[in-house]
Amino acid sequence: MALEEKREKRPPVTPMMIEEEAALRNGSRGLPPGPWAEAAGPRPRTTERHIAVHKRLVLGFAVSILALLAVTMIAVLLSVRFEECGAAADGPPRVGGNGSLSGAARQPPGAEQPPGRPEEEEAARGGEAAAPEEKTEEEEWQRRRELPPWTRPRLPRHLRPLHYNLMLSAFMENFTFSGEVNVQLEVRNASRHIVLHAHRLHIEAVRVAEDKLAGGVRVSRSFLYPQTQVFVVVLNRSLEVQRSYNLKIIYNGLIENELLGFFRSSYVLHGERRFLGVTQFSPTHARKAFPCFDEPIYKATFKISIRHQATYLSLSNMPVETSVFEEDGWVTDHFSQTPLMSTYYLAWAVCNFTYRETVTKSGVVVRLYARPDAIRRGSGDYALNITRRLIEFYEDYFKVPYSLPKLDLLAVPKHPYAAMENWGLSVFVEQRILLDPSISSILYLLDVTMVIVHELCHQWFGDLVTPVWWEDVWLKEGFAHYFEFVGTDYLYPGWNMEKQRFLTDVLHEVMLLDGLTSSHPVSQEVQQATDIDRVFDWIAYKKGAALIRMLANFMGHSVFQMGLQDYLTIHKYGNAARNDLWNTLSKALKRVGKSVNIQEVMDQWTLQMGYPVITILGNETTDNVIVISQERFVYDSDAKPKNPALRDNSYLWQIPLTIAVGNTSHISSEAIIWVSNKSEHHRIPALEEASWLLGNINQTGYFRVNYDIRNWRLLINQLTRNHEVISVSNRAGLIDDAFNLARAGYLPQNIPLEIIRYLSEEKDFLPWHAASRALYPLDKLLDRTENYNIFNEYILRQVAAVYLKLGWPTNNLNKSLVQASYQHEELRREVIMLACSFGNKHCHQQAATLISDWISSNRNRIPLNVRDIVYCTGVSLMDEDVWEFIWMKFHSTTAVSEKKILLEALTCSDDRNLLNRLLNLSLNSEVVLDQDAIDVIIHVARNPHGRDLAWKFFKEKWKILNARYGEALFMNSKLISGVTEFLNTEEELRELKNFIKSYEEGAAASFSRAVETVEANVRWQRLYKEELFQWLRKSLTY
């Protein structure tokens, strides 16, 4: 307490005593000036009067000292009592307590604490901050025209953590934990304030001491500031520059029943529900598990110790160094010290899983931990084996060894994301890592493979070299997403993932999102905590990957690889920004004699949102000369960017346009033209009357290409006569570009439908996959219109011949999971899906027969690669009994891959009562896992019979959904997009806008995209729907 408050609580005093205290504060010998000072001076003689005066003086001084001591003791006792009451009532944000600093971490929250040492208690209590003092301090910051450091969105830069010693006790019986963290701090600038992150923690005690031998630094006060999720320690004196200090904090918290921080999950084994605790710290949730400097720039080393019941085991980033067993059935695991790392990929888990193990050539121990029954069945063996091979691949590709002695893969039942790349302890949701070869499709195997490839890449891009700040999150996520395809090609060379599947699964998909004016640059400014969640979207992941792929292609893959090796070597165990990458890649180009300013080129792609559409026009007046122009591609030309600063942007890019000339039997080798102006003229050799032009060869560039109608006609004729003259990648690219250019109004609506006529002769998977993906949104725009059957009939005609030719797969339960021909099996699956979706009678009959056989025999003989299609088709065509059968199988199966497709099949019903029932059950965590509920709602929204039901359910349950998923990256944006993307009437648009007005809090960026998408849908219906139907009617009459 402050001195003024102490005076108010003292007994009445005389004016003399007040003057004495004033003198003490002013630094005199304890006596006021004037006669009293003279009386205290030396005298040659002492009279009785002088003796009496001296006695009164001594007596008064003694009384004042005794009173001061008494009041101090009372104040301390009241302070301790007030802190205990305040903590119990969750009162004002103050810190204190009389718990033992060394023993508190061993006790559950609320347990009785032994008394601490007096000097530790004094340091821990510091001094209670009274409201007037706090207000005075904030007023002082205002007078200096500065924000107090704890109110700013970023931590102040005057301190740097060097090392954390973290000791945790996990109490799984009541889902609480207690902890003691000791942080070694380096002082960069003198300050009286220590500000670090802490959120939803109860702080029991805090102490600050100079490093090693020096004594404590008195804590004046400390408090939590929830607005910025920080804990503030105010000291009596400033910390000295270039000195090292130790910050000790004792705290406790809950192992939450949610998806972030230190949370709990559960599973059932032999009829018994078992619990586990696991962490998810990225991007800003380490602060929920321990007080820390929770920004990626603050790298430090960590020494973790976890105390738990002996029936559990604990895992963390590093191996266990020693385990100390106690008589009461508890054990403390002490883990080895980590290398320098950021807080967001620190991790630990407390579980009773079992594991299997393998070792890489370089000696890295790889273990996969999962439920005992999953390990016993061998469900983790596939993931374990490819992880070993992938570590060896990355070590060879990057020429940088894996940095830790071990890597654990942890399969958990509940997790907000597919996986998290914690260094040395990667966590996966079970559906993305466990695989049963007897009941898993190629598509499921591919999904599991690519998630593992992605997370292992992060051990280098993200963990070893970390972005300086979240604005460049694409530096880790873009690379990991790109290497999903490179790494899978290493495992399965014949699948051509990077050259082919990348186009449909990444490039075409992200261009849909980035063609909206509500998009954002891949590198975007991040100020507030809410901005951090916003940058984790498909723009960072997929656009980042597409730009990296474009960069690798125009640099040359070998030079690009050499540049990445240099980048990782230079910045390992540190942080890097995008300019660090550009500079390293520019130097790599210089070493091979090329001079390209990578930063100048790539800043236009990373700092501007959207992408260009290149238009190539023949010049009618000059032979062999073409006009190339660029403009920003947008789906709705009437839409205006929400940010006024972006409305006048000129949107120019330096575009590496590859171009080739072809005719009926031959295509030339490609040439590269750098396009940097709005419009340019270029001479093209050998451009004859019957020749056609093709731009963006193999779609290595992140842009669309449009042509004059004459060139489109020539390309359509070429596809019809001999499509193999044009590469597989470019056939897929032409289909996707044509459908999207037409949707945005750049092309007549008939051009894309004319292009896909050639598909009856197409034998490759990729063009069919591109067509299927391009037709899907068009189908959803039309599926509730009165003339939908015309569109439906046209698509069935294109599919029929190939469907009959390919037929259905045979039952392959006894065959290898990876088929002899991945491309052939995926093509067959794609055609069957289109045939069943658009109502091919034979396809429907086959699906119904297979379902009926399963029900009657209770033996599932449905081919693995088409099970999801058969389940969905059967549920949509057959009666309620089939729905109930699938529901029963969903509950009884323990195979996670089967569980996923059974749940999705339930959303295919035409029965609105069943769809409503499923929607309501989706929010019951005991029935549907939290991360799966979103997929249920989205799949119901994709069903034309359930679209309005899902939209109504979403509006009614928004508060519950937002509370559950609001902090989890992707989840809210995925849900909002999935429920709204196919709304396409004026009434639905009005409902969406009114809903947003009612619930303005949270997910603003996602709702902006939703409005623009629905506006573009409504605009298309108004402008182009009738044009499309007119052409379809004419086409079907021939």
Within 10 angstroms of residue 808's Cβ, the number of other Cβ atoms is 16
Q: Does residue 248 surpass a pLDDT of 70?
A: yes
pLDDT at 642: 59
Strand-pairing partners, residue 184, are 163, 246
Signed CA dihedral, 385, 387, 392, 393: sign only: positive
pLDDT of residue 12: 39
Indicate if the pLDDT at residue 23 is higher than 70: no
Q: Which residue's structure tokens are 């969750």?
A: 90
Most confident of 86-90, 120-124, 765-769: 765-769
> Read out DSSP for 842-901?
HHHHHHHHHHHHHHHHS---S-GGGHHHHHHHHHHHS-HHHHHHHHHHHHH---HHHHHH
First-last CA distance in the chain: 93
Q: Give the pLDDT confidence score for residue 82 in this predicted structure.
A: 37
As a dihedral over the C-alpha atoms of residue 394, residue 399, residue 405, residue 406, rounded to 10 degrees, the angle is 0
pLDDT at position 969, please? 58
The answer to whether 718 and 727 have CB atoms below 8 angstroms apart is no
**How confident is the model at residue 135, as a pLDDT?**
54
Q: Is the pLDDT at 9 greater than 50, yes or no?
A: no
Place of tokens 């790349």: 421
* Alpha helices, DSSP H, located in 233-323: none
Return the closest-CA partner of residue 695 out of 718, 670, 677, 674.
Answer: 670
Question: pLDDT value at position 770?
Answer: 97
| pLDDT of 105 | 38
Structural element, H or E, at residue 505: none
d(CA 705, CA 720): 20
pLDDT, mean of residues 712-741: 97
CB contact burial 581-606 (16+ within 10 A = b; e otherwise): bbbbbbebbeeeeeebebbebbbbbb
Cα torsion 1009, 1013, 1014, 1019: sign:
positive
pLDDT band at 86 (very low <50, low <70, confident <90, very high): very low
pLDDT in tens, 959-1001: 899 888 876 656 788 899 999 999 999 999 999 999 998 875 6
pLDDT of 124 over the 90 cut = no
Q: CB 666: neighbour CB atoms within 10 A?
A: 9
Catalytic residue among 455, 825, 898, 1012: 455
Burial profile 72-107: b = 16 or more Cβ within 10 angstroms, e = fewer:
eeebeeebbebbeebbeeeeebbbbbbbbbeebbbb
Instruction: Tell me the C-alpha to C-alpha distance, in Å, between residue 605 and each of 371, 523, 598, 653, 1022.
Output: 45, 9, 11, 7, 33
Query: Among 341, 400, 410, which Cα is nearest to 163's?
Result: 341
DSSP labels for 411-467? Answer: EES--SSSEE--TTEEEEEGGGT---TTT--HHHHHHHHHHHHHHHHHTTBTTTEEE
- Rounded mean pLDDT of 80-92? 37
Residue 52 has pLDDT above 60, yes or no: no
The pLDDT confidence band at residue 143, using thresholds 50, 70 and 90, is: confident
- Quick check: 710 and 616 in contact, CB under 8 A? no
Mean of pLDDT values over 38-52: 37
Residue predicted with more confidence, 21 or 211: 211
Q: Answer yes or no: is pLDDT of 29 > 50.
A: no
pLDDT value, residue 556: 96
Contact between residue 205 and residue 250 where contact means Cβ atoms under 8 Å apart = yes
Grouping H, G, I as helix, E, B as strand and the rest as coil, residue 946 is: coil
Q: For residues 863 and 808, is the Cβ–Cβ distance under 8 A?
A: yes
Residues 6+ apart with CB under 8 A from 897: 431, 434, 435, 436, 439, 440, 441, 444
Q: What span, in angstroms and rounded, lies between the C-alpha atoms of 359 and 919?
A: 45
The predicted pLDDT at position 91 comes to 35
**80/227: higher pLDDT:** 227
Q: Lowest mean pLDDT: which of 193-202, 527-536, 567-576, 653-662?
A: 527-536
Cβ neighbors of 905 (< 8 A, separation 6 or more) are 868, 871, 872, 874, 875, 886
Whole-angstrom Cα distance, residue 490 to residue 450?
Answer: 12
User: Where would I find the H helices in 91-185?
Assistant: 118-125, 131-143
Q: What is 982-1029 written as a DSSP string?
A: T--SHHHHHHHHHHHHH--SS-HHHHHHHHHHHHHHHHHHHHTHHHHH
Length of the chain in terms of residues written: 1038
Name which of 350, 321, 315 is nearest 336 in CA terms: 321
SS3 761: helix
Mean of the pLDDT values across residues 206-219? 82
Mean of the per-residue pLDDT values of the chain: 86
Q: How far apart are CA 369 and CA 356, in angstroms?
A: 7
Question: Where residue 99 falls among pLDDT bands split at 50, 70, 90?
Answer: very low
Chain segment 828-846, per-residue pLDDT in tens: 999 999 999 999 999 999 9
Q: In this predicted model, what pLDDT tens digit does every residue of 339-390 receive, in sequence order? A: 999 999 999 999 999 999 999 999 999 999 999 999 999 999 999 999 999 9
Q: What is the mean pLDDT of residues 726-745?
A: 97
Sheet hosting strand 320-325, strand order edge to edge = 216-217, 202-210, 244-254, 176-187, 159-171, 301-309, 330-335, 320-325
Residue 760 CB partners (closer than 8 Å, separation 6+): 798, 801, 802
With a cut of 60, say whether residue 820 has pLDDT above it. Answer: no
Place of tokens 């790599």: 588
Determine phi and psi for 464, rounding to 5 degrees.
-70, -45
Half-sphere exposure of 253 (CA within 13 A, CB side): 24
Tell me the sheet residues that pair with 263: 256, 278
455 is catalytic: yes
Beta pairing, strands 159-171 & 176-187: antiparallel
Both tokens assigned to 869 = 């299609």
State the pLDDT at residue 96.
Answer: 39
Binning pLDDT at 50, 70 and 90, where does residue 636 land? confident
Quick one: what percent of the chain has pLDDT higher than 70?
83
Radius of gyration of the chain (CA): 34
Coil, helix or strand for 674?
A: strand
Q: What is the mean pLDDT of residues 455-474?
A: 97
Between 653 and 216, where is the model more confident?
A: 653
Confidence check: pLDDT of 73 > 50 = yes
Rounded Cα–Cα distance for residues 674 and 657 (Å): 6
User: Can you name the residues that pair with 390 across neighbouring β-strands?
Assistant: none
Residue 460 has φ and ψ, to the nearest 5°, of -105, -55
User: Does residue 578 register a pLDDT over 60?
Assistant: yes
pLDDT at residue 53 in the model: 41
Higher pLDDT, 664 or 803: 803
pLDDT in tens, 505-558: 999 999 999 999 999 999 988 887 777 877 888 999 999 999 999 999 999 999
- The pLDDT, as a whole number, for residue 30 is 34
Type of residue numbered 7: R
**CB burial string 905-915: b at 16+ within 10 A, e below:** bbbbbeeeebb
> What are the distances in angstroms from CA 359 to CA 395, 457, 464?
14, 18, 21
Per-residue tokens: 581? 């990458």
Q: Which of 486, 480, 465 minimizes the C-alpha distance to 557?
A: 486
Contact 985, 1018 (CB under 8 A): yes
Q: Is there a contact between 308 and 172 (Cβ–Cβ < 8 Å)?
A: yes
Higher pLDDT, 77 or 808: 808
Say what angle helices 788-806 and 822-837 make with each other, to 10 degrees: 150
Label residue 35 by pLDDT band (50, 70, 90): very low
Spatial distance between the Cα atoms of 818 and 285, rounded to a whole number of angstroms: 39
1011: closest CA among 746, 646, 641, 645? Answer: 641
> In the prediction, which pLDDT does 646 show?
55
Rounded CA-CA distance 838/836 in Å is 6
Q: Is 892 exposed, middle or buried (0-12, 13-18, 19+ CB in 10 A)?
A: exposed
